[in-house]
């Protein structure tokens, strides 16, 4: 007779593990090298335009290591390529949360918000990029310049309205 698996207990165990800051990678004994191999495969699918397979692999990666910003960025990039802008924004947001000084997810989230017609949140992303992006670095200069190119698409009136909101909060 086969023993019945109590999925409720498993769910609680996984939830407790994650609350302690652990990952499914650790629970299952998956190595960083194994996840990097999957990442290489996912990135290869992305680069070749095979977005559906890349999506599955990046979803696997963020499931097994939800604390890896690179995996979240890859997921966001695939979702953006598939024009799933709403989910791409979520992935980019999580990536940004894990590495606030990386301007890439903030810029791409702004692009996604623009594609969704949400200029206010696009402007907010660019403001965050400018606030947290390291100054005096090549990547900082590059992404500040890219952000400056998006500003006209958003409109200075939107940035002014955000500044007014911030003043009221202070």
| CB-CB contact of 84 with 110 (8 Å) | no
* pLDDT per position as a tens digit, 54-65: 999 999 999 888
* pLDDT per position as a tens digit, 66-80: 899 999 999 999 999
| CB-CB contact of 76 with 113 (8 Å) | no
Domain boundaries, the chain: 23-99, 101-170
In this structure, what is the dihedral angle of CA atoms 142, 94, 114, 84, given to the nearest 10 degrees? 120
* pLDDT per position as a tens digit, 85-107: 999 999 999 999 999 999 999 99
Residue position matching structure tokens 């004994």: 29
Report the predicted TM-score, pTM, of the whole model to 2 decimal places.
0.83
Maximum pairwise Cα distance, the chain:
69
* pLDDT per position as a tens digit, 4-39: 555 566 567 656 665 766 665 556 566 778 999 999
Q: Per this entry, what is the length of the chain? A: 170
Q: Considering the domain 23-99, what is its CATH architecture? A: Alpha Horseshoe (1.25)
Here the tokens at position 154 are 């958003």
Q: How far is 91 from 146, CA to CA, in rounded Å?
A: 20
77 to 11, 59, 106, 112: CA distances (angstroms): 29, 12, 12, 10
Smallest CA-to-CA distance from 102 within 71, 122, 73 is with 73
Q: How far is 92 from 106, CA to CA, in rounded Å?
A: 7
């Amino acid at each position: 007779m086969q023993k019945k698996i109590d999925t409720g207990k498993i769910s609680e165990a996984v939830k407790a593990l994650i609350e302690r800051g652990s990952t499914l990678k650790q629970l299952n004994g998956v190595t960083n090298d194994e996840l990097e191999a999957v990442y290489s495969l996912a990135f290869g699918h992305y680069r070749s335009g095979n977005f559906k397979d890349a999506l599955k692999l990046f979803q696997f990666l963020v499931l097994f290591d939800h604390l890896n910003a690179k995996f979240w960025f890859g997921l966001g990039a695939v979702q953006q390529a598939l024009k799933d802008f709403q989910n791409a924004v979520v992935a980019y947001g999580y990536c940004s949360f894990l590495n606030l000084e990386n301007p890439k997810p903030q810029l791409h989230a702004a692009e996604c918000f623009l594609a969704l017609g949400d200029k206010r949140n696009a402007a907010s992303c660019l403001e965050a990029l400018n606030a947290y992006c390291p100054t005096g670095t090549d990547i900082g200069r590059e992404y500040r310049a890219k952000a400056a190119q998006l500003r006209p698409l958003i409109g200075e009136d939107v940035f002014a309205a955000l500044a007014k909101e911030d003043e009221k909060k202070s």
